[in-house]
Amino acid sequence: EADIYQTPRYLVIGTGKKITLECSQTMGHDKMYWYQQDPGMELHLIHYSYGVNSTEKGDLSSESTVSRIRTEHFPLTLESARPSHTSQYLCASSERTPSTDTQYFGPGTRLTVL
Amino acid sequence: GNSVTQMEGPVTLSEEAFLTINCTYTATGYPSLFWYVQYPGEGLQLLLKATKADDKGSNKGFEATYRKETTSFHLEKGSVQVSDSAVYFCALKRSGNTPLVFGKGTRLSVIA
């Protein structure tokens, strides 16, 4: 059982608000990821980190930002939420292994921007 | 570039039917291959994986064989249950510091 947590699970907010989606893992994993999942189920990698103070943008351009100050914590921030940000956000982590890279996923945050 | 193509859904089957979800990939080198499953309202869980050609991954009655010659990793189960209803994602991972590459997902519905 993977120990990766996301809060909140559901969030409904108005346009223009600043929000932070929390993601924490207790497995000591170096690598962490944020995905945006559209209603058609497809996953889009928006940010990833391979360690403290390391962050990279993913395949899908996103107006969100991330930080990695502690190994276990990888929050995602939207400075000014818009309806186009409405989506499911999934956080994942993996350990640095020499050959494979099994990712463990949190339960997700479903964000609705009105 | 690296990519994963899996069959489009939704797939609807009766309980105890045989399941195949096709997955093919394009990658340089020799990637590791994965199947993840997402149950309603949850995140993704690893279902099975294979790290080299001809390896067979298996779990919970599901299995998939890494076929290098056809660049495929098809998911199969001999007898599906209603509880198998979920979205299934095929994915690949190249060695080194590269992220997973996911297919678009296939929704499976099993009816009693």
Nearest to A63 by CA among A38, A83, A43: A83
Interatomic CA distance for residues A43 and B103, integer angstroms: 8
Shortest distance between the Cα of A62 and any Cα of chain B, in A, equals 17
Closest to A36 (Cα-Cα) out of A104, A92, A79: A92
Q: Indicate if the pLDDT at residue A96 is higher than 80.
A: no
pLDDT at A1 over 60: no
- Provide the percentage of residues in chain B whose pLDDT is more than 70: 100
pLDDT tens digit string along B48-99?
999 999 999 999 999 999 999 999 999 999 999 999 999 999 999 987 778 8
B93: exposed, middle or buried (C-beta count within 10 Å: 0-12, 13-18, 19+)?
A: buried
- The answer to whether residue A49 scores a pLDDT higher than 60 is yes
Give A-chain residues touching B49 at CB under 8 angstroms: 100, 102
Residue A107 is predicted with a pLDDT of 94
Q: How many contacts does A have with B, using Cβ atoms within 8 A?
A: 49
The Cα of B32 is separated from the nearest Cα of chain A by a number of Å equal to 7
User: Looking at the predicted structure, is the pLDDT value of residue A112 above 90?
Assistant: yes
Rounded Cα–Cα distance for residues A73 and A42 (Å): 25
- Give the rounded percent of residues in chain A with a pLDDT score beyond 90: 77
Give the torsion sign (CA, B102, A2, B19, B87).
negative
